[in-house]
Chains A and B, each alone.
Chain A
């Protein structure tokens, strides 16, 4: 009994140590973002909190030369666009890979997965040259296309694992009833994996949103996203730490909120379907 309590205390102590490390930076950003300009550098924990930084950052105008709100909207547009395109093309592909064993299917799937592991700059530098010739540089279409490298392998791999888990009997019954394969896919298989689709879409959205290197190199001011924008707050001669902190927190809100709604599905998503919970 006594030993159990000691173990419990030791376990909790260990957890406290890790979670202080994990949560303190976020708490500190919150504190920084609430500081008024004149208390940025002369105090640490005692100050008179104000929402001024949030008002400035979300005010819609340019902050220190950064149109933050527009970048935020850009992030929304390209992330949603990338996920939608990947779903449209990736769901049938995942279905095909799950339902039929055909020559080279595993190789095709691994080719797709290898895009996930390819160093981004290998393709970005040639794309940088190519996009300028094609007029895709600094456009939504350009960013959405290149984000397929992030969202497509994720969606195809995870959805394949969901389709594989789904017994084919229902679809076969539908086929015997005269359904076409397309209709069986749309009417029978898709509704059954709806939770999976929702979870993987949100996860793909998060990864697209959090991406930095693609918009850094392939956009300049029109289609630039929030991750690149937040970094530009650090430039300049007089860094505004409170604005930077507010911008960092605001740009972290969408992925955080979404992640909390799909906690149950995260394990399979994060491991590309390799680990099921």
Chain B
């Protein structure tokens, strides 16, 4: 920050123009190039530190062009073979499908449940005000710890869930021992951890909505469902969308919940893409191959986040435009 000296004015601040007065005794001006370089000088360390990560990312991208593995420390250049192999593999498409099912399923349930809980809490019953204080609890428990907790409860023979279900004649559900059961159990843990996230954002949205449209609707005798569909939901959408973006992007790259709960099993039925990359790169030590998996997932996540964030920007500016009218 060598460029910052006493003679500096606020000229660089937005909206101040260049008309700042200089204090007496400070005739020296900072060269323009140093002034315009300053924001970069301040931001670049942060980027370097996180971008110190960009180097390994680039390195990883480079590795995918080789057949680097523990068994082959002197790798040969193989071009795009890793990617072609992956796209030709059934295992890849199975993983992609399971990842998509997981992400869509978890996000959809969390969205409906989270908005539902927010609507109930927004009624501010006495019970609701008490329970709101512990709403955050599951979200603050590490997902891997949550998965451990559920794993203990889901044990078929000694777990507490089957014990509680026994009176209803459902005493031996094989929770994580069937492919469908394992996927649904993983989604359940995800829902348990992250529903509060959606609920908290939706509740903040509900509390910030203007009152007058609702009063007008009540005067006109509009029903609950009509009000919800025509007023609440459209105005709440920017808030909910933020939650959906975060949840969908994050569940595409789920790792810890599945690693702790099912380890990808039974068979490879819950091996989502990040687990597949982990198995290939760390367990089987086929580094190049594992990284290629991740590059593919990264590309998908990156493109989706760009599209969604743009869309969010449009929705938010539209919402801002509406509320100022």
Contact = CB atoms under 8 A, between A and B. Distances in A.
Contact of B6 (A101, A178, A227, A270): A178
Contacts of B196: 22
Interface in B180-230: 192, 195-197, 200-201, 204-205, 207-208
B307 interface: no
Interface in B98-127: 113, 116-117, 120-121, 123, 125, 127
Interface of B is mostly: helix
Interface of A is mostly: helix
A126 B1 contact: no
B14 A178 contact: no
The CB with the most chain B CB atoms within 10 A, among A122, A216, A230, A259, is that of: A122
Contact of A176 (B10, B163, B301): B10
Contacts of B52: 145, 148
B66 interface: no
B255 to A, nearest CB: 5
A267 interface: yes
A26 to B, nearest CB: 7
A29 B21 CA distance: 65
Contacts of B141: 26, 210, 252, 255-256
Nearest to B239: A275
A25 to B, nearest CB: 5
A92 B49 CA distance: 14
A123 interface: yes
B121 to A, nearest CB: 7
Contact of B160 (A28, A92, A95): A28
B256 A212 contact: yes
A147 B295 CA distance: 20
Given A121-B274, A122-B291, A125-B294, A11 B123 contact: yes
B89 interface: no
Interface string B119-157: 011010101100101111111111111101111110000
Instruction: Give me the 8 closest cross-chain CB pairs, A-B, nearest first.
Output: A96-B42, A210-B142, A126-B60, A126-B56, A93-B46, A119-B253, A172-B10, A122-B294
15 contacts: A18-B120, A25-B150, A93-B45, A114-B302, A121-B294, A122-B291, A126-B63, A145-B52, A171-B10, A172-B13, A176-B10, A181-B38, A231-B148, A234-B151, A275-B239
